Amino acid sequence: MNQIEPTATPKTLRSSPFARASLVAYLFLILYASWYPFTGWRANNLSALPDVIRQWPHYWTVFDVSTNIVGYVPFGMLIVFSLYPRVNRWWAVLIAILCGSAVSATAELVQYFLPTRVTSMLDFLTNASGAVIGALAGALLTPLLIEKGRLQLLRKQWTYQESSREIVILGLWPMAQLYPQAYLFGLGQFSPLLSQHLTNFFEMDIDLSAFFLQGIEPNADAYLLAEAFITACGCTGAILICLSLLNRHAPKFILAPLLLLMALICKSLACALLFNPEYAFAWFTPGARGGLLISLIMLYGFSFAPVHVQKRLAFLLLIISMVVVNLLPDNPYFEVTMQTWVQGKFLNFNGAAQFLSMFWPFLALWALLRKPRAG
C-alpha cells in the first residue's frame, strides 16, 4: 500500500525572521539615504508642492535612473519574503508594489522640505519600478529560497540557535566599509560629527579629540601604529562574531575569510568610485597590512575558543577599536585624500554609507549582548 506524502500547508511552513530583520534594516537605510543630510528644514511655499511634483526634471542621467531602480529592487523582494507564508505570494507582490510606491512617495514628499534634496516625479516612478521588479523576482524566488527551505536548512545546519539578526548585522559589515574612513575597519567614528554639531550649537570651536588628548599631537609613527591597532581590533571583532555563530558542521575557515574578502572588495570598489580608480587600494597602507597580519594571527588562536569566549573577545575588541578611533585626531594623510572626494551623484549613497559606518559597531555590540532564543 503506497503511502501518501504529506504536503506542506501554511501552518507547517515557517516564516523567515532573516527576511523580516533585513526588511526593517533596508527600510531604515532607504529613508536615511533619501533624507540625508537632515539639515536646513523648511516649510514655506507649500502651495508650490503640486507643481513641483508634476514637473519633469530638466536634467537626469542614466546613472540616476539606474540607481533609483536598483535601490528598490531588494526592498520589493524582502517584502514578499517577509509576508511568506501568511500571504499568498502573488498577493504579496501586490502588497510589495503598494508599499514600495508608498515609501517612495513619502520619501519624495519629505525631500521637498530639505533644500539640498529635489522632489522628482521621475525618482518616484523609477523607485516604484524597482519595487515592482523586486516583488516579481521575490515571487519567483520564493519557491526556491523559502518554500524549499534551502537557506533555512543551511542556517540550521551551520549556526547555533536563532541567529537571523546577527546574520543581517554581519551582512552589513562589508557595506559599512563603503564610506571613507581614516583607518581600515575604523567604524564607529562619531567624534568629528559630534564636535561639529557641538560647535554649531554653542557657536564656539569644540574638538573632542583635542580635549581628551590634552595637546598631545601624534606623529607619523603613532598614526601607523594606531591604524594597525584599529585594523586588528575591528577586523578580529567582526570575524569573531561570525565564528561565534557557526557550529562544528559549518565550513568556518571558508565563510570567515569570505566575509573578510567581501569587506575588502567593498572597500576597494568604494575607493575607486568615490575618488579615482588609482585609489582602489589606497587603504592598503603599512598600518593596514600590519593590522591585518595581527588580526589573522589572533583569529587563528581565537577560532578554537568556546563560543562565549569568542563573543566576549569580540565585544571587548570592538569597544577598544571605537575608543581609539574616536580619541585620535583627524589623520592629516587621510585629509589630503579626502580633498579629491566629490560626492555629487553619490549623495544618497553617501548618507546610507555614513550611517552604517558610524552605527554598525553599536548594532554589533547589541547583537553580542542579546540573549539568543532557542530554535
Q: Shortest CA distance to 167 belongs to which of 27, 375, 374, 17?
A: 17
Distance CA 66, CA 302 (A): 43
* pLDDT averages per 10-residue partition of the chain, 375 residues: 42 67 84 76 72 70 80 91 87 94 90 80 90 92 71 73 79 88 89 80 76 75 90 96 89 92 89 76 90 95 92 96 87 62 55 83 91 54
Q: Identify the residue whose cell numbers are 534551502.
A: 150
The pLDDT value given to residue 93: 93
Q: Is the dihedral of CA 251, 252, 257, 262 positive or negative?
A: positive
Q: Identify the residue whose cell numbers are 569644540.
A: 206
- DSSP lists the bridge partners of residue 246 as 159
pLDDT tens for each residue of 146-190 = 766 666 676 777 887 667 778 888 988 998 998 888 899 999 988
- In angstroms, the first-to-last Cα distance of the chain is 36
The pLDDT value given to residue 306: 93
Note the Cα 39 to chain centre separation in Å: 22
The pLDDT value given to residue 193: 78
pTM over 0.85: no
The pLDDT value given to residue 197: 76
Note the Cα 198 to chain centre separation in Å: 26
Alpha-helical (H) ranges within the chain are 17-35, 49-54, 62-83, 89-111, 121-142, 150-158, 164-176, 191-202, 208-213, 220-245, 252-274, 286-302, 307-327, 332-338, 347-369
CB 159 within 8 A of CB 250: yes
